[in-house]
Amino acid sequence: MAQGPIRIQTQTGGSELEAQSLTGEKFSKEQASRDPDNYFNIRMLTCPAAEMVDGSKVLYFEQAFWRTPQKPFRQRFYMVKPCPKELKCDVEGSYAIRDADEYKNFCDRSKDQRPLPEEVIGDIAEHLTTIHLKRCDRGKRCLYEGSTPPGGFPNSWNGANYCTSELAILKNNETHTWDRGYDDGGNQVWGVKEGPYEFKPAPASSVSELFSPSKPPPSPVDGEKNRRFICSARVIACYMYNQSRHVKY
C-alpha cells in the first residue's frame, strides 16, 4: 500500500521530473493477476493540486480498488520542492488531509469542481512519514528510489511498534511502493511480505475496459477479500492520522 501526501525535497531540476513521474493513473493489475493471493488490483491516482509561493508543488494522491474508483480508501498530499544544491538526496514526506471527503476523486473532476489552490494549501494537515530519495545508479531500471530513515515511524496497528516505507520511480513511469509494520522484536505484523506493489500506467483502452459496466461483478470470495483489505487499509490510515494528534485509536 502506498503512503499519502508527500513532501519531496530534490536536487535542483529534479523536483519537476519527480512531480511529473508521480502523477497519473496507475494500476497494480498485472501484479494482482500474477499473484492474486498477495496483491490486489488497486488504482493509484495522483495529480497537481497547488503550488506554494516558493515554487513547491503540491500533489493530491488517492488509492481505490479498481472496481470502486469513486470510493478511495487512502488519500494524501505530496509536496515537492528542490533541495539545496549541496544536498545529494531528496526527501518525501506524507501528510494527512483535513476534510478528506471533500477531496474524493479530486483528479477526476473538472478544475472548476475542485477545491481552490489556496484551500488545498490550508488543508495540508499532519505529517505522516518521510522517505529519503536519491537518483538511481546508472544501469538500474529506476530514476529515483528511497526509504524511510532507520527505525521507520511509530505505528501500533496490529501489534506493530513502527512502520517502514520504500518507494521507487522507474524509467518506464512505474511506481513501486512497499509499506510494512514491525513489532518490538522486528517481526513483520502487517504489510505484504513478498515485495513491493507495482503500479503501472494503463493504456486508455485498458482503463476503459476495466471500468466497463459489462464486466462481471466480483465473486463473493473476492468481495470478502476486498472488504477485509479495505478495513485494514482504513485502520492503518486512520491510526497514522490520529497518532500524530496523540489520539489513541
What integer pLDDT is reported at residue 91 of this predicted model? Answer: 66
Q: What is the pLDDT of residue 80?
A: 77
Distance between CA atoms of residues 163 and 236, nearest Å: 10
What confidence score (pLDDT) does residue 156 get? Answer: 86
The predicted pLDDT at position 245 comes to: 33
Cβ contacts of 88 within 8 Å, gap of 6 or more: 11, 134
- Intra-chain end-to-end CA distance of the chain, in Å: 20
pLDDT of residue 137: 92
CA distance 160 to 157: 5
Domains of the chain: 7-243 (2.40.128.590)
Beta strand residue intervals within the chain, DSSP E: 7-10, 24-27, 42-51, 57-65, 74-82, 90-97, 124-135, 142-147, 153-154, 162-170, 175-182, 188-190, 197-201
**Mean pLDDT by 10-residue block, N- to C-terminus, for the chain (249 residues)?**
43 60 93 97 96 85 96 91 62 86 97 96 89 87 90 90 94 95 96 97 58 44 45 38 32
Report the Cα 16 to chain-centroid distance in Å. 18
Q: Is the CB of residue 5 less than 8 Å from the CB of residue 95? A: yes
